[in-house]
């Protein structure tokens, strides 16, 4: 089972985190006294804020005083946008059964909704205080864009939270994440679709642009030369050569399979963001917030986890890799709109100044939010001198947010251990986490627990104000 819900369609990757199944009888929470709300056992409270965002709260009579605030992932423009208070129903049921209260909002808008999400989540906390009571402690958590929002909440409102669990989060920040996506799309435009009219910034017709990109990818995949260049474009974004979470990773030298998996990531998941959904961000930001000016594509490739694959496929295709890298470096660079950069910096870039314990979680085979972003988050935390508060764990599995309920609960228990004791001890050791997940039994272990020792390669485009 995935910890997310994805609808892949023509221009659609739907909400990346699954919407929780509501438990109990829904009531509108306005004016409900805490004693009345809790007397009958499980209760669901819902309502709407003035900005149009909805909220969802679930709490049992045996509430243990801890609130778990969930931030959901990216919702494609035009898709349904209900409030969510947990990533999957099994984890939600475990949390409720163990006395935790759940809460979360829909955010007022879809898309890159950081600006709306953070205040709407704070409003949800305020509503919980009003309807149920002030928690003794509050844990922030979320998936994907919701992982980014979780990290943003503890950065912007540290006094409201006790700890945080960003899962598969966009922890490289908005600037770095969209810059890496641009590098990959730029390589597609320059090497696979020159003269095609494919737009990588200032996208005027997202639907038509994505259709064009799909055609460019399909044509390239039919030749050895095209496949080598798809691998190069994927390497610019560190997209892994592992796609199916139900299948083992390709062998380290099975470059043919790795490229085939990257083609799936590019056409089914990453492509819609790079060639269509970027337009939604540009509309919000008032222009293009990304750039290639000053980027050395050869240097980036030398640091990419995909370097050996690219070299092997270029050799097999009879292509000169240095010539293609030189062409990328010589192409007219893309410049950013300064106002759009400022918008994306605010929504959001991380400073690493932690005030509470944070445990991050990522799969090793995530091609949408690559695990290298965790290295950037670790770096800014180190620079801020708060490394003692951060732990990062990895699950060996393909897919975005494809944690089992057991793996999720084990991570949550490790974070609670840190909150209860003030020490991490060995709680985040992969062996300990796997044992904790296995102990939850088969209902929660829909796949074998797969925590693993793992160190990401460097993120290829960490955001640096001096670089723009």
Mean pLDDT per block of 10 residues along the chain (468 residues) reads 31 29 26 38 89 97 96 96 97 96 98 98 98 97 98 98 98 97 98 97 98 98 98 98 97 98 98 98 98 97 98 98 98 97 96 97 98 96 97 98 98 98 98 98 97 97 59
| Short-list 378, 414, 290, CA closest to 340 | 290
Position 462 scores a pLDDT of 79
User: Cα–Cα distance between 237 and 435 in angstroms, integer?
Assistant: 34
Give the fold, CATH level 3, of 26-171+350-452. Rossmann fold (3.40.50)
> What does the DSSP assignment read for 308-377?
HHHHHHHHHHT--HHHHHHHHHHSPPP---HHHHHHHHHTT------SS-EEEEEEEE-SSS-THHHHHH
Per the DSSP assignment, residues forming a β-bridge with 394 are 362, 452
Q: What is the pLDDT of residues 190-230, one digit of tens each?
A: 999 999 999 999 999 999 999 999 999 999 999 999 999 99
For the chain, domain boundaries: 26-171+350-452, 174-343
φ/ψ region of 86 (left if φ > 0, alpha if ψ in -120 to 50, else beta) reads: beta
| Short-list 176, 376, 170, 192, CA closest to 295 | 176
First to last CA, the chain: 42
Q: Answer yes or no: are the C-beta atoms of 57 and 105 closer than 8 Å.
A: no
pTM of this structure: 0.91
| Short-list 149, 171, 167, 42, CA closest to 105 | 149
Percent above pLDDT 90 for the chain: 89
Q: What is the pLDDT of residues 143-200, one digit of tens each?
A: 999 999 999 999 999 999 999 999 999 999 999 999 999 999 999 999 999 999 999 9
**Pairing mode, strands 101-105 and 137-143:** unpaired
Residue 214: enclosing H or E segment and its boundaries?
A: helix 206-221
Q: Answer yes or no: are the C-beta atoms of 360 and 191 closer than 8 Å.
A: no
């Amino acid at each position: 089972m995935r910890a997310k819900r994805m609808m892949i369609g023509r221009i659609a990757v739907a909400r990346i985190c699954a919407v929780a199944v509501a438990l109990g009888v829904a009531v509108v929470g306005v004016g409900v006294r805490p004693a009345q709300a809790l007397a009958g056992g499980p209760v669901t409270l819902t309502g709407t804020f003035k900005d149009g965002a909805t909220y969802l709260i679930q709490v049992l009579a045996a509430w243990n005083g801890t609130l778990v605030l969930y931030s959901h992932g990216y919702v494609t423009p035009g898709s349904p946008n209900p409030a969510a208070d947990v990533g999957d129903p099994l984890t939600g049921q475990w949390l409720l059964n163990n006395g935790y209260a759940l809460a979360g909002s829909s955010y007022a808008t879809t898309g890159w909704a950081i600006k709306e999400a953070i205040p709407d989540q704070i409003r949800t906390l305020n509503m919980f205080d009003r309807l149920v009571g002030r928690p003794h402690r509050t844990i922030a958590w979320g998936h994907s864009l919701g992982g980014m929002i979780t990290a943003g909440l503890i950065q912007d409102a540290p006094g409201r939270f006790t700890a945080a669990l960003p899962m598969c989060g966009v922890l490289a920040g908005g600037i770095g994440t969209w810059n890496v996506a641009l590098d990959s799309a730029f390589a597609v435009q320059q090497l696979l679709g020159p003269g095609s009219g494919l737009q990588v910034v200032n996208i005027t017709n997202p639907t038509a642009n994505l259709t064009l990109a799909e055609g460019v990818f399909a044509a390239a995949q039919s030749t050895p030369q095209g496949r080598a260049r798809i691998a190069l474009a994927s390497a610019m974004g560190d997209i892994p050569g592992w796609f199916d979470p139900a299948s083992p990773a390709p062998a380290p030298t099975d470059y043919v399979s790795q490229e085939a998996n990257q083609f799936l990531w590019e056409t089914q998941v990453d492509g819609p963001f790079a060639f269509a959904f970027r337009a939604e961000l540009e509309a919000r930001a008032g222009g293009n917030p990304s750039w290639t000016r000053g980027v050395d594509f050869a240097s980036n490739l030398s640091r990419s986890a995909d370097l050996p694959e690219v070299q092997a496929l270029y050799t097999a295709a009879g292509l000169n890799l240095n010539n293609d890298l030189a062409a990328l470096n010589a192409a007219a660079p893309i410049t950013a709109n300064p106002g759009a950069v400022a918008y994306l910096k605010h929504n959001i870039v991380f400073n690493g100044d932690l005030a509470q314990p944070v445990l991050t979680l990522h799969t090793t085979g995530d091609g949408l939010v690559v695990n290298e972003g965790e290295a950037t988050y670790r770096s800014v935390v180190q620079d801020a001198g708060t490394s003692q508060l951060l732990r990062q764990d990895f699950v060996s599995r393909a897919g975005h947010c494809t944690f089992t309920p057991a793996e999720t609960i084990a991570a949550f228990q490790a974070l609670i251990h840190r909150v209860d004791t003030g020490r991490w001890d060995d709680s985040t050791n992969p062996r300990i986490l796997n044992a904790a997940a296995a102990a939850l039994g088969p209902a929660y272990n829909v796949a074998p627990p797969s925590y693993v020792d793992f160190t990401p390669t460097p993120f290829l485009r960490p955001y640096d104000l001096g670089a723009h």
